[in-house]
């Protein structure tokens, strides 16, 4: 049975709520422990004001939220705690323990936008170099796919949907069909063209598949899962944590590195196939980081004082 820790008075409603999460929603142990800790924290706050865990009103909840902010809790932690309390009170309402939900009008703490995760240029170089350490067929496929991904910022679905003839002749651009069937043209680097050509030349039967990256069944394209496994192998060979490497991380790396080297947002929006430039603007954190680094390096007040003699 899931219970609050022994140093708090056990609340049967909290126990029932945690048991419901475990039984009906299959909540993981760590989730249950986190929710239990959140309920315990709120129970202590309510008890100090003479109320039980299931007796809170809106004013008590607002006071609790304010107390967390004053204690210096991050917005993310406060939002997670409030989510636990919301779900608890919805459970009480559903079970007929309460006739109202005091969390209904509460605003969640405003979270900062999640910044895209990306690799450094050196890490991308290490990934590309590591493709040469795989078995020949795997290595050529991985090199072609990674060079194209990093040169264009394609989504993995767009990459795997490329037909074999997308790189026929000496094409320097790719015609890509993106979300909503919208087409866009993206330029290809010489390295990407060379890697793709080497991959195509290595295939024994060029008529076996119409896909640039065929799956085990050549009538189908490679699956996302198959490509993810290949990328994991490359990451391990490159000495990188596979959890940090994914097709989307490579897309973010492309965008971040382009901005860092002076690309403008409108051009980047076109290359990435974003319908709204607001989606592209999240990459401006790279520019902010560059500016901070420049100030730290060159501003006279940022320099450590020189030793006197």
Catalytic site residues? 155, 179, 248, 251, 274, 283
Q: Of 65, 60, 58, nearest to 80 (Cα)?
A: 65
- Write out the DSSP string of the chain: -----TTS---HHHHHHHHHHHHHS---HHHHHHHHHHHHHHHHHHHTTT--GGG--HHHHHHHHHHHHHTT--HHHHHHHHHHHHHHHHHHHHTTS-SS-TTTTPPPPPPPPPPPP---HHHHHHHHHHGGGS-HHHHHHHHHHHHHHHHH---HHHHHT-BGGGG-TT-SEEEEE-GGG-EEEEE--HHHHHHHHHHHHH-S-TTS-SBSSB-SSTTSBPPHHHHHHHHHHHHHHTT--GGG--HHHHHHHHHHHHHHTT--HHHHHHHHT-SSHHHHGGGGHHHHHHHHHHHHHH-GGGSPPPPP-
Distances, alpha carbon 45 to alpha carbons 55, 63, 111, 252, in Å: 12, 9, 24, 43
């Amino acid at each position: 049975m899931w219970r609050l820790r022994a140093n708090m008075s056990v609340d049967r409603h909290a126990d029932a709520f945690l048991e419901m999460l475990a039984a009906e929603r299959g909540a993981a142990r760590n989730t249950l422990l986190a929710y239990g800790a959140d309920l315990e924290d709120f129970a202590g706050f309510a008890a100090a004001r003479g109320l039980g865990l299931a007796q809170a009103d809106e004013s008590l909840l607002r006071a609790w939220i304010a107390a967390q902010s004053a204690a210096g809790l991050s917005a993310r932690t406060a939002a997670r705690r409030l989510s636990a309390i919301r779900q608890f009170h919805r459970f009480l309402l559903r079970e007929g323990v309460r006739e109202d939900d005091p969390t209904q009008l509460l605003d969640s703490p405003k979270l900062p936008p999640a910044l895209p995760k990306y690799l450094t240029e050196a890490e991308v170089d290490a990934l590309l170099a590591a493709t040469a350490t795989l078995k020949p067929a795997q290595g050529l496929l991985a090199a072609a796919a990674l060079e194209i991904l990093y040169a264009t910022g394609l989504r993995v679905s767009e990459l795997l949907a490329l037909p074999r003839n997308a790189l026929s002749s000496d094409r320097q651009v790719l015609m890509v069909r993106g979300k909503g069937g919208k087409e866009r043209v993206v330029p290809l680097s010489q390295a990407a063209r060379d890697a793709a050509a080497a991959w195509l030349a290595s295939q024994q039967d060029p008529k076996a598949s119409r896909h640039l990256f065929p799956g085990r069944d050549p009538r189908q394209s490679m699956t996302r899962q198959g490509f993810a496994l290949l990328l994991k192998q490359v990451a391990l060979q490159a000495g990188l944590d596979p959890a940090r490497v994914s097709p989307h991380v490579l897309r973010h790396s492309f965008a971040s590195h382009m901005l860092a080297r002076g690309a403008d947002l409108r051009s980047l929006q076109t290359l990435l196939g974003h319908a709204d430039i607001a989606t592209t603007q999240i990459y401006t954190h790279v520019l902010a980081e560059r500016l901070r680094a420049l100030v730290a390096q060159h501003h006279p007040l940022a320099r450590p004082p020189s030793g006197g003699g």
